[in-house]
Every structure is written in C-alpha cells, then in structure tokens.
C-alpha cells in the first residue's frame, strides 16, 4: 500500500475533481459519508453523545458534513468550531451553511471559551486539523487538545490526529491529539508508523474516497506499507525435483567467548527459513556448543580460541551473514576488514559488524554492493550520527543507502527497509519480539533467503515480514512476555503456511466463526 505525502494527496484531489468532473464539495461529501458509514456500522444508532470539534479548513469541513449525516440519522451531536483562524475554506463554509439550514448552531470556541462538558462515555470526533497543519497550534488550541484527552472519552480523528505534521516531528509531545482511532482517507500516513508519532494513533483504518486509481497508480511514493498482499509475490515456490544444493550453502560468521548463542540462533534460523546447507564460522570456543545445538549445521573454527582473529575458509558460500556476537577485538576488526576485501557479493552485516564499521569508517567503502545492514536504532545512530526526529532519521538512512549502495533494515516496531530512495515499512510484529536474540534470528532468516536465491531487497523485505509473522503467531500462543528468539524460529514454518494459505472465501469465514 503506497503512502502518499501531503503534496501528492492534494494533487490526487485536484486530479480526481477534474477527471471525474465533480466539485471539491462532492469529494468532501464522499469523505464525510464514508466517515458516517464507518461510525454508523459500529454505533447502530446508540444514544451516545458525539462531540465534534471542527477546524476551519477542509478537515473541519469533513467534521461539519459528518455532523449533518449523524444528525439526520438521529444521533445526539454537539458541534464545536475551533476558531483558530479567521480564514475559512469554501467547503467548510458550504457545510456550515447546511448545518445552519438544519437549525444546528455550532459553538464557536475561541481562546477564552469555556471547554464544553464531555462525559467519559461520550465520543469525540477530532476534525480540528488535517494534513494542512503548517505550524504548531496556538497555545489555547493545545490546551483544548489536552482537555480532550483529559475527558477519557473515545477520540476518533478524521484523516490524521490533529497537531501532527505530515513531514516533520512536533515541537512538544502535548501539541497533538492522542486518537483511539484514526480514519485516514485513501491511504495511511507515514506518521502512523514512526516511533515518535505512533503513540498518537492507537488504531487506524483507511476509507476509500474514490481518488482516481490511475493517478494513484502512476504516483511514485518514497514509502510503501508492506503487508501480506505486497510480500506474497516475493515468495519463490520450491520445485518437486529439487535438492539441498538448489537452496545454497550459507555461512554464518560471528561469535566470541560467552556470545556463541547468537550464532546458534542465526544458524538455526538460517536452516529453518530454508537454506540448503549452513556452515557456522566461529572461534574455537564455539565448536562444541554449535555441534550440539545445531547438528544440521557444519562448523568451521578460527584459529582464535575466544574471538575471531583471521577469517579463512575454502568454502564458496552462496550467502554470508556476519556480526552476531562477533565482538570488536582489534584482531577481529582486521579480520573483518580483510574478509570484506575478498567478499564481493551482497551479504548481511549485523550487530558487532556494524559497530566495527561505525568505529572504523574507512571500512564503509568495503561494504559489498547490495549488502543488507540490519541495525537497531542505537547501531544506526553510531553509523549515521544523531537525528532530530524520525523524518531526519529516514532521510539520513536513505542518503547512507544511496552513498554506500546498500540496504538498511531499521529494526523495531514497523521495521523499515531503506533501499536507495525507497523505503518499505513492515506491517506486522509485536512487542514480544523485543527480546534477546530476535535480531540474530532475523540475520539468519535474511541470510537463508539470500542463500536460496532471493535478491537482496526481496530477502530483506521477505525476511522481515516472515520474522514478524512468526513472531505474531508465536505471541498468539505464548503471549508477549514469554516469547523468546527461539519462539520466532519455531513458528517460521507456520508463518510460511499462513502466508501461502489461500484467502478464505466468505462462507469459509462464516463456517469458522460458527464452529
């Protein structure tokens, strides 16, 4: 699912209006009817008081039009205009007139107005600001937003939570509405998926308002949300007459004294995601643990007892994943440097391999083209330097990806894969996956997919998706707290099955619910 920026949404608006020969008011009417149907389906006429807070732009216009539909269907409404500017958009005015024609007189709220009384079981519709927010709200509007939150009532935001900018962080965490639900027109917004702003969006849904599909199809976006539909075409089905050679021989390189577990996790993950053969390259201390923990894997040992000091092997791996538990000893740094001189094909660089690159910047030029770096935010900051907000973080990551011709996987909630100027936002996973070794497993998954012939970008996107899906399946059985890195490995098979399960027909869904 494409994620459009404000400029692209406005362009889609005007293209649609012109192509479909409709007025902007008719487009707003479509939007507000979609809002109404979504609410009506869930409320079924319930006598719950609905307080609408409308700004003076088109977001507010949506709110006024929604108020009209609600009132026409017998809902108890109270309309408040948050009068933060003397400007009024034409469609706002049109809908205000329609309310007045129905003898609905909105309260006009200014800086000195009393805050309306709202019960904890009431519903608040936040249509104060939409994607047109261009500066921080006035202090009195911020106070109003705080009061909305203090009511404890359910807050439904129209299009975006008011106060969030579409392209930058906000000045102060209090300057935006924390929405229980956001109804976004046509596509989700980037702010729904960023660590700093996701707190304002507990849940979201998209309402199709009939923007021109051709225009949307043709519009190139920087960001794309990756769900099952987008990821499924990446899957490479297995042929009947295949053998393990078809699925490559992966090499997992890492480990140091006390951190052999990371290599065990990556090696097991690499096998379970489908690599044909896997060899682990570890210091001497890793031989026994690996042979016991992963009998399916072969083991090569470095001459160093406790950490890797010289990487030598006569293997031609089809994919390499390096860095997990590696440590950053001086000899390990020179070993990795020499290894990168010889490594020409794309590989996975994670954990201490990334820390070594950050501490020895001249090694950055040795990253094989197309390689996949999998930092968590702290490791990313060591690579890129600090950032003022998530938007700058993404900008710097894209620049790094372009300059070093590599793919960056920013791990976390909504893991984001940056490949050049494009970013792919993963849409599964859960907080239970924030557990030791989860990243080691992801390295094993991506390396194992590379080993099976997936192109680097496909391996990164598919690996992240399978990792999240396995984590979600594990969480349904184990909950969040008990979920461990091994749980993710154990559920990878079910993740493949779930991914490949044909979509259920309507009757199958009904049968399942009745059963």
By CB under 6 A, residue 144 contacts ligand LP7C6HRI: no
- Please enumerate in sequence order all residues whose Cβ is within 8 A of that of 368, keeping only pairs 6 or more positions apart, or say none: 340, 343, 344, 345, 346, 347
Three-state SS for 38-81 is HHHHHHCCCCCCEEEEECCCHHHHHHHHHHHHHHHCCCCEEEEE
**440 marked among binding-site residues:** yes
Q: What is the DSSP string of 191-246?
A: GGGSTTTGGGBS-EEEE-----HHHHHH---SEEEE-HHHHGGG--PPPTT--GGG
Query: Among 23, 85, 310, 359, which residue interacts with ligand LP7C6HRI (rule: CB under 6 A)?
Result: 85
Measured from the CB of residue 91, what is the shortest distance to ligand LP7C6HRI in angstroms?
A: 7
Among positions 127-186, residues that touch K ion (CB under 5 A) are 157-158, 162
- Calculate the CA dihedral of residues 322, 323, 328, 332 and round it to 10 degrees: -20
Please choose which of K ion, ligand LP7C6HRI, none residue 18 contacts, taking the beta carbon within 5 to 8 angstroms, the exact cut-off set by kind.
Answer: none
CB closer to ligand LP7C6HRI out of 60 and 375: 60
Measured from the CB of residue 173, what is the shortest distance to ligand LP7C6HRI in angstroms?
A: 16
Stretch touching ligand LP7C6HRI by CB under 6 A, among 36-44, 125-133, 304-312, 428-436: 125-133
In this structure, what are the phi and psi dihedrals at residue 390, rounded to the nearest 5 degrees? Answer: -65, -30
By CB under 6 A, residue 84 contacts ligand LP7C6HRI: yes
**121 marked among binding-site residues:** no
**CA distance linking residue 76 with residue 13, whole number of Å:** 31
Three-state SS for 344-396 is CCCCEECHHHHHHHHHCHHHHHHCCCCCEECCCHHHHHHHHCCCCCHHHHHHH
Please choose which of K ion, ligand LP7C6HRI, none residue 61 contacts, taking the beta carbon within 5 to 8 angstroms, the exact cut-off set by kind.
Answer: ligand LP7C6HRI
**163 marked among binding-site residues:** no
By CB under 6 A, residue 403 contacts ligand LP7C6HRI: no
CB closer to K ion out of 82 and 469: 82
Please choose which of ligand LP7C6HRI, K ion, none residue 157 contacts, taking the beta carbon within 5 to 8 angstroms, the exact cut-off set by kind.
Answer: K ion
In 3-state terms the chain splits into helix, strand, coil percentages (rounded to 5) of: 45, 15, 40
By CB under 6 A, residue 35 contacts ligand LP7C6HRI: no
Strand partners, 277: 249
* Binding footprint of K ion on the chain (CB under 5 A): 59, 126, 157-158, 162
Annotated binding site for AMP: 411-415, 439
Residues of this chain that interact with ligand LP7C6HRI (CB under 6 A) are 9, 12-13, 27-28, 31, 55, 57-62, 84-85, 87, 89, 129-138, 158-159, 185-186, 209, 211
């Amino acid at each position: 699912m494409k994620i459009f920026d404000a400029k692209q949404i406005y362009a889609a608006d005007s293209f649609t209006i012109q192509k479909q020969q409709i007025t902007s008011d008719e487009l707003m009417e479509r939007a507000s009817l979609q809002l109404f149907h979504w609410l009506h389906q869930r409320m079924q006429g319930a006598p719950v008081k609905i307080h609408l807070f409308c700004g003076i732009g088109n977001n507010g216009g949506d709110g006024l039009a929604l108020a009209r539909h609600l009132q026409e269907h017998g809902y108890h409404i109270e309309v408040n205009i948050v009068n933060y500017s003397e400007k009024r958009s034409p469609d706002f005015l049109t809908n205000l007139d329609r309310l007045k024609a129905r003898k609905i007189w909105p309260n006009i709220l200014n800086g000195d107005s009393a805050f309306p009384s709202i019960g904890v079981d009431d519903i608040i519709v936040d249509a104060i600001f939409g994607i047109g927010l261009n500066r921080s709200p006035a202090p009195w509007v911020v106070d109003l937003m705080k009061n909305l939150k203090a009511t404890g009532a359910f807050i439904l935001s129209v299009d975006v939570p008011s106060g969030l900018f579409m392209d930058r962080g906000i000045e102060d965490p209090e300057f935006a509405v924390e929405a229980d639900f956001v109804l976004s027109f046509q596509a989700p917004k980037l702010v729904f998926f960023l660590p700093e702003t996701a707190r304002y969006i507990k849940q979201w849904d998209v309402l199709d308002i009939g923007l021109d599909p051709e225009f949307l199809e043709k519009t190139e976006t920087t960001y794309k949300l990756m769900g099952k539909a987008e990821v499924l075409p990446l899957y490479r089905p297995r042929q009947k007459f295949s053998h393990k050679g078809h699925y490559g021989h992966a090499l997992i390189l890492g480990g140091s004294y006390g951190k052999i577990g990371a290599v065990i996790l990556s090696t097991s993950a690499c096998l379970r995601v489908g690599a044909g053969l896997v060899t682990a390259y570890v210091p001497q201390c890793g031989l026994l643990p690996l042979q016991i923990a992963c009998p399916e894997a072969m083991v090569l040992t470095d001459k160093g007892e406790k950490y890797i000091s010289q990487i030598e092997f006569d293997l031609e791996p089809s994919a390499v994943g390096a860095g997990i538990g590696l440590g950053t000893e001086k000899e390990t740094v020179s070993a990795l440097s020499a290894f990168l001189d010889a490594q020409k094909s794309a590989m996975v660089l994670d954990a201490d391999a990334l820390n070594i690159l950050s501490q020895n910047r001249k090694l950055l030029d040795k990253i094989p083209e197309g390689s996949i770096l999998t930092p968590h935010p702290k490791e990313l900051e060591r690579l890129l330097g600090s950032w003022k907000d998530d938007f700058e973080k993404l900008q710097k990551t894209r620049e790094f990806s372009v300059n070093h011709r590599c793919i960056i996987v920013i791990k976390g909630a909504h893991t984001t894969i940056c490949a050049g100027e494009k970013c792919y936002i993963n849409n599964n996973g859960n907080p239970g996956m924030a557990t030791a070794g989860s990243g080691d497993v992801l390295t094993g998954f991506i390396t194992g997919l590379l080993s099976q012939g997936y192109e680097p970008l496909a391996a990164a996107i598919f690996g992240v998706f399978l990792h999240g899906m396995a984590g979600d399946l594990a969480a349904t059985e184990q909950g969040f707290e008990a979920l461990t890195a091994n749980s993710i490995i154990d559920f990878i098979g079910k993740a493949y099955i779930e991914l490949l399960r044909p979509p259920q027909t309507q009757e199958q869904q009904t049968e399942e619910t009745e059963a």
